[in-house]
């Protein structure tokens, strides 16, 4: 077997599920080495930047003094051009005890940049250039949020490929530069040398006037990994006029160690697994963290650390990637630097080397870590509970304060459940006649909803403070997603898109036929409780509308609520 792993430049070949990063209460004991200081090994690592000081990737602080840094837009970039959430490929050295390393080169390239054509709010997905972008509770948003993204916004997505035409976003940034500079990574398919077109998933690429980098037009072939840049995108035909077609060449990792993220395939128990097309061997010495070995299976998201032994890559450590099943925001009440914890209210969270840390407050501290916190700081936290019962922070963002309207969003396992409410993170959640109850694909009655609650049920709550309690406007049971779960065409849906047609009691939005019923809540701008006739007459073809409803197998939606978003209405 070849002892070199082929890694596409800028991590384009890596696959990661949309379930985010991992963590635990303690880091594993460092490897024991002889001498007074740890030895170093050469390393190739691909992963998400979780913090700075100098740059933190896969839980290791890498010094960037003397590093060569490049980005899509700048081959001679500075460290300040890197940001939390960016997926980078780093080559350098790392200490054997994992206490630090030195980066020789750091390369960053966005996977996708272009206009938004559809937002699937229920599944936290965005469609851009015909590609589906999956986000989750750990995705870092810059200058936007999933709730505020509009059709037509230009976004830059950093992340990893899940499958053809599907990406996981570790970072989504609202672009403020020119709105006609687009990028997409993918594999060439349906090559037509006569028409001079090819496909990247569902996107049609016209390449007749493009400049070819690292290969020639004559060498273009199906199956090649390419990054396409263009300045003309037609939403009606989902086609782009390419200005550059850049071949994403595979480069061998000649380092002594490789760290990777991806989805397991080709798993042979106790023998080997395949990650991103490369076979790695399991041994009796392979360590497992953030989960038990019995969890290893095809479709599971992991990080692994491997070394070269006898011409093969042997896995030293497998780290399971955990989903965020807890979300909490509030003011810090305590900080413990000795145990690496902070507390919001009565809930304590552990910060690990894998925790994503970002300062979105006006202080904008770049080297943001636990030592940067002070009591009363307002934080938004995504976390999970480990086997020992500790709440492990997966992402921590410091904000100036909560939502302007005072609303609160919580996610976790309820306790003290009654017929009318429950307790979550020590806060009493109450309901009233306006509370809406959901179970992923259905709107439930209050009785049906509370009958489903159990000691392991994860719920997401949208609420407002009221008389010392939290009055829920919406409560949703959040069933854990299995690897490969995607958007569902049947059941409860929530999305935003461009209005393409309207007629009596019916509209069309991005391929969905939406039926309006007398009970449908209708709103245009600030005008609420409209009649169906006034609502239809007031709509403008091409504007963005937000739809919530129940869809059937033919993508026909019976609307519960429809809103035309107008900023100045």
At residue 317, does pLDDT exceed 70? yes
pLDDT confidence band for 459 (50 / 70 / 90): very high
pLDDT confidence band for 27 (50 / 70 / 90): very low
At residue 463, does pLDDT exceed 60? yes
pLDDT average, residue stretch 137-145: 95
pLDDT of residue 10: 35
**Nearest-angstrom CA–CA distance, 183 and 191:** 19
**Nearest-angstrom CA–CA distance, 402 and 221:** 51
pLDDT of residue 31: 40
- Residue 535, token pair as written in the block: 């609502």
Closest CA to 319 of 357, 348, 341, 352: 352
Local structure of residue 445 (DSSP, 8 states): -
pLDDT of residue 182: 94
Q: Is 22 helix (H, G, I), strand (E, B) or coil?
A: coil
pLDDT of residue 278: 81
| pLDDT tens per residue, range 39-70 | 899 998 888 999 998 899 988 999 999 999 99
At residue 442, does pLDDT exceed 60? yes
At residue 497, does pLDDT exceed 80? yes
At residue 498, does pLDDT exceed 80? yes
pLDDT of residue 250: 65
pLDDT average, residue stretch 188-202: 97
pLDDT confidence band for 137 (50 / 70 / 90): very high
pLDDT confidence band for 34 (50 / 70 / 90): very low
- Residue 93, token pair as written in the block: 């050295």
Please compute, for residue 385, the number of CA atoms within 13 A of its CA located in the half-sphere on the CB side.
Answer: 13
Beta bridge partners of 527: 524
- Residue 21, token pair as written in the block: 């990063």
DSSP string across 87-105: EEEEEEEEETTSS-EEEEE
CB 95 within 8 A of CB 39: yes
CB 225 within 8 A of CB 277: no
Give percent helix, percent strand, percent coil of the chain, each to the nearest 5. 5, 50, 45
- Residue 331, token pair as written in the block: 């003011």
Give Cα separations from 211 to 70, 179, 202, 228 (angstroms): 21, 20, 22, 10
| pLDDT tens per residue, range 222-255 | 999 999 999 889 988 999 999 999 998 766 667 8
pLDDT of residue 198: 98
At residue 221, does pLDDT exceed 50? yes
Local structure of residue 482 (DSSP, 8 states): P
At residue 26, does pLDDT exceed 60? no
Whole-model pTM: value is 0.88
∠ CA(152), CA(157), CA(162), 5° rounding? 115
**Nearest-angstrom CA–CA distance, 363 and 16:** 32
Give Cα separations from 26 to 29, 259, 386, 402, 403 (angstroms): 9, 20, 11, 30, 33
**Nearest-angstrom CA–CA distance, 289 and 296:** 11
Domains and CATH numbers, the chain: 326-399 (2.40.50.320), 408-477 (2.40.50), 491-564 (2.40.50.140)
In the chain, how long is the greatest CA-to-CA distance?
Answer: 81
**Nearest-angstrom CA–CA distance, 222 and 239:** 18
**Nearest-angstrom CA–CA distance, 209 and 220:** 14
Ranges assigned E (strand) in 402-543: 408-412, 421-424, 427-430, 436-439, 443-444, 459-466, 469-477, 491-503, 506-509, 512-515, 521-524
Q: Is 392 helix (H, G, I), strand (E, B) or coil?
A: strand
**Nearest-angstrom CA–CA distance, 386 and 389:** 5
pLDDT of residue 17: 38
pLDDT of residue 490: 67
The pLDDT mean for the chain works out to 88
Closest CA to 164 of 321, 15, 8, 301: 15
pLDDT confidence band for 479 (50 / 70 / 90): confident
pLDDT average, residue stretch 272-294: 90
pLDDT average, residue stretch 363-377: 96
CB 218 within 8 A of CB 165: no
């Amino acid at each position: 077997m070849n002892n070199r792993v082929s890694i596409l430049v800028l991590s384009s070949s890596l696959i990661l599920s949309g379930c985010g990063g991992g963590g635990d209460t303690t880091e594993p004991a460092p490897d024991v080495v002889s001498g007074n200081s740890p030895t170093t090994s050469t390393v190739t690592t691909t992963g998400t930047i979780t913090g700075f000081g100098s740059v933190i990737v896969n839980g290791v602080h890498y010094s960037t003094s003397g590093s060569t840094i490049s980005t899509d837009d700048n081959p001679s970039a500075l460290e300040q051009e890197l940001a939390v959430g960016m997926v980078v490929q780093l080559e350098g050295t790392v200490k054997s005890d994992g206490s630090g390393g030195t980066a020789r080169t750091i390369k960053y390239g966005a996977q996708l940049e272009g206009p938004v054509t559809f937002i699937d709010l229920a599944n936290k997905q965005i469609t851009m250039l015909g590609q589906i972008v999956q986000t989750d509770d750990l995705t870092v948003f810059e200058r936007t949020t999933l709730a505020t993204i509009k059709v037509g916004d230009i976004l830059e997505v950093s992340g990893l490929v899940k499958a053809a035409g599907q990406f996981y976003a570790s970072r989504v940034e609202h672009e403020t530069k020119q709105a006609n500079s687009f990028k997409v990574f993918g594999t060439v398919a349906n090559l037509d040398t006569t028409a001079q077109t090819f496909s990247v998933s569902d996107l049609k690429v016209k390449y007749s006037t493009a400049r070819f980098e690292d290969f020639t037009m004559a060498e273009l072939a199906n199956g090649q990994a390419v990054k396409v840049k263009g300045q003309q995108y037609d939403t009606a035909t989902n086609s782009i006029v390419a200005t550059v077609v850049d071949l994403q060449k595979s480069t061998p990792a000649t380092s002594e160690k490789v760290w990777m993220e991806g989805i397991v395939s080709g798993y042979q128990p106790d023998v080997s697994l395949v990650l991103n097309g490369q076979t790695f061997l399991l041994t009796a010495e392979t360590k497992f963290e953030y989960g038990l070995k019995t969890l290893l299976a095809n479709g599971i998201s992991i990080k692994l650390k491997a070394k070269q032994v006898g011409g093969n890559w042997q896995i030293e450590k497998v780290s399971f990637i955990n989903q965020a099943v807890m979300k909490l925001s509030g003011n810090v009440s305590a900080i413990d630097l000795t145990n690496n914890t902070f507390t919001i209210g009565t809930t304590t969270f552990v910060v690990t080397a894998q925790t994503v840390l970002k300062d979105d407050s006006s202080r904008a501290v770049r080297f943001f870590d636990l030592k940067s916190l002070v009591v009363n700081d307002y934080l938004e936290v995504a976390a999970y509970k480990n086997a020992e019962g500790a709440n492990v922070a997966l992402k921590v963002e410091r904000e100036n304060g909560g939502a302007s309207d005072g609303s609160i969003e919580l996610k976790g396992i309820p306790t003290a459940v009654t017929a009318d409410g429950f307790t979550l993170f020590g806060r009493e959640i109450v309901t009233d006649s306006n509370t809406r109850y959901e179970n992923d694909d259905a709107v439930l009655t209050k009785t049906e909803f509370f009958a489903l609650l159990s000691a392991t049920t994860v719920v997401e709550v949208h609420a407002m403070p009221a008389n010392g309690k939290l009055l829920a406007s919406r409560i949703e049971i959040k069933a854990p997603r299995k690897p490969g779960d995607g958007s569902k065409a049947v059941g409860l849906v929530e999305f935003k898109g461009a209005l393409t047609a309207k007629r009596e009691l019916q509209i069309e939005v991005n391929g969905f036929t939406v039926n309006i019923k007398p009970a449908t809540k209708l709103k245009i701008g600030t005008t609420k409780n409209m009649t169906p006739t006034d609502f239809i007459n007031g709509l403008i073809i091409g504007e963005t509308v937000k739809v919530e409803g129940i869809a059937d197998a033919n993508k026909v939606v019976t609307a519960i609520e429809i809103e035309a978003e107008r900023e100045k209405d």
